[in-house]
């Protein structure tokens, strides 16, 4: 069966987006589809597969999110913006909508053709920890939680990511964190905040992470490392803006419609 899809990206996070209201794929089928379709060069390639699904808790639709390794994630900030645009363009929602996620309800707004804003899941935990003599911040969004580690790193913009990978992997699998965590490095340089995120599920650095960037903005605001609000963040895939209102976080950025097509069965075959 050929599967209709849209390829989208937000700040360099790229996604294969499906309408599961029509497809009615089961969880194991969506997981397998993500593992097959997200392979770069061998298939469409993406950071993750997202699906619009039937709402269950009063939202306009439900977000299903599967990482490239097939694991289901609670939510994705950049993905939520793209899914909001998908729902609007496909006439599944109006310019203001509510997305159901595993981590809770996420309101979203269309600001222009390709700029969307989402209210991320509230900050539910903030802790200051120490890891190998480094101060790190632990932030959880939503319930069940989206876990993030936030750590300062001087000269980040010029740093080769390969030099950060070992530290990122240690933090991602830190024994103090049963679920693991996404790892966000940041550097405040004047009016610019540089962010680099190592994402669990992808198991590598990505061009952007919306909830990770928002966690950085929250830490900077709470610890008074920046005065600006909204906080402008520079990620590998572009620019993001986060407005911090105590534990409420509003993420604004692009939601780009790249292409529409059909996934063939061959696109989902496991790599030989």
Count Cβ atoms below 10 Å from residue 60 Cβ, excluding itself: 19
Grade residue 191 by pLDDT with cuts at 50, 70 and 90.
confident
% the chain with pLDDT above 90: 90
| Cβ atoms of 206 and 197 closer than 8 Å | yes
Annotated binding residue at 13? Answer: yes
Tens-place pLDDT, residues 174-186 = 999 988 999 999 9
Same fold, 3-117+255-268 and 123-253: yes
User: For all residues of the chain together, what is the average pLDDT?
Assistant: 95
Count Cβ atoms below 10 Å from residue 7 Cβ, excluding itself: 18
Annotated binding residue at 253? Answer: no
Tens-place pLDDT, residues 11-41 = 999 999 999 999 999 999 999 999 999 999 9
Annotated binding residue at 143? Answer: no
Q: Which segments within 20-122 are labelled E, that is strand?
A: 48-53, 61-67, 96-101, 104-110, 115-119
Which residue is catalytic, options 136, 209, 231, 240?
209
* Mean pLDDT in residue range 128-154: 94
Dihedral angle computed from the Cα positions of residues 221, 227, 232 and 233, in that order, rounded to the nearest 10 degrees? -50
CATH class entry, domain 123-253 = alpha beta
The pLDDT score that the predictor gives to residue 192 is 82
> Is 82 part of the annotated catalytic residue set?
no
CA distance 107 to 115: 15
Cα separation values, 139 from 19, 47, 54, 199, 227, Å: 32, 23, 30, 14, 20
User: Which residue has better confidence, 109 or 189?
Assistant: 109
Annotated binding residue at 78? Answer: yes
Annotated binding residue at 211? Answer: yes
Annotated binding residue at 210? Answer: yes
The pLDDT score that the predictor gives to residue 272 is 38
**What 3-state class would DSSP assign to 129?**
strand
- Residue 271, pLDDT above cutoff 90: no
Annotated binding residue at 199? Answer: yes
Which residue is catalytic, options 76, 150, 183, 195?
76
Domain-by-domain residue ranges, the chain?
3-117+255-268, 123-253
* Mean pLDDT in residue range 111-115: 97
Count Cβ atoms below 10 Å from residue 167 Cβ, excluding itself: 17
Grade residue 202 by pLDDT with cuts at 50, 70 and 90.
confident
CATH class entry, domain 3-117+255-268 = alpha beta
């Amino acid at each position: 069966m050929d599967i209709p899809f849209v390829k989208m990206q937000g700040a360099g996070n790229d996604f294969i987006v499906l309408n599961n209201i029509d497809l009615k794929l089961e969880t194991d089928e969506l997981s397998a589809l993500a593992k097959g379709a997200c392979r770069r060069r061998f298939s469409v390639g993406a950071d993750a597969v997202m699906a619009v699904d039937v709402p269950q808790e009063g939202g306009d639709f439900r977000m299903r999110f599967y990482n490239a390794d097939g694991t289901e994630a609670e939510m994705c900030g950049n993905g939520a913006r793209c899914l909001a645009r998908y729902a609007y363009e496909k006439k599944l929602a109006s310019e203001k909508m509510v997305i159901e996620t595993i981590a809770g309800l996420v309101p979203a707004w269309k600001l222009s053709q390709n700029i969307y804003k989402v209210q991320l899941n509230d900050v539910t935990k903030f802790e200051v920890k120490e890891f190998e003599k480094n101060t790190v911040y632990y932030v959880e969004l939503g319930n069940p939680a989206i876990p993030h580690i936030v750590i300062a790193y001087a000269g980040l913009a010029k740093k080769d990511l390969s030099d950060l990978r070992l530290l990122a992997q240690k933090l991602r699998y830190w024994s103090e964190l049963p679920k693991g965590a996404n790892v966000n490095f940041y550097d405040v340089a004047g009016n610019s905040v540089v962010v680099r995120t190592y994402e669990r599920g992808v198991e590598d650095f990505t061009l952007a992470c919306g909830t990770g960037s928002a966690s950085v903005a929250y830490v900077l605001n709470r610890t008074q490392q920046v005065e600006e609000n909204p906080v402008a963040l520079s990620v590998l895939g572009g620019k993001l803006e986060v407005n911090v209102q105590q534990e409420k976080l509003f993420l604004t950025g692009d939601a780009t419609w790249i292409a529409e097509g059909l996934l063939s069965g061959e696109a989902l075959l496991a790599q030989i």
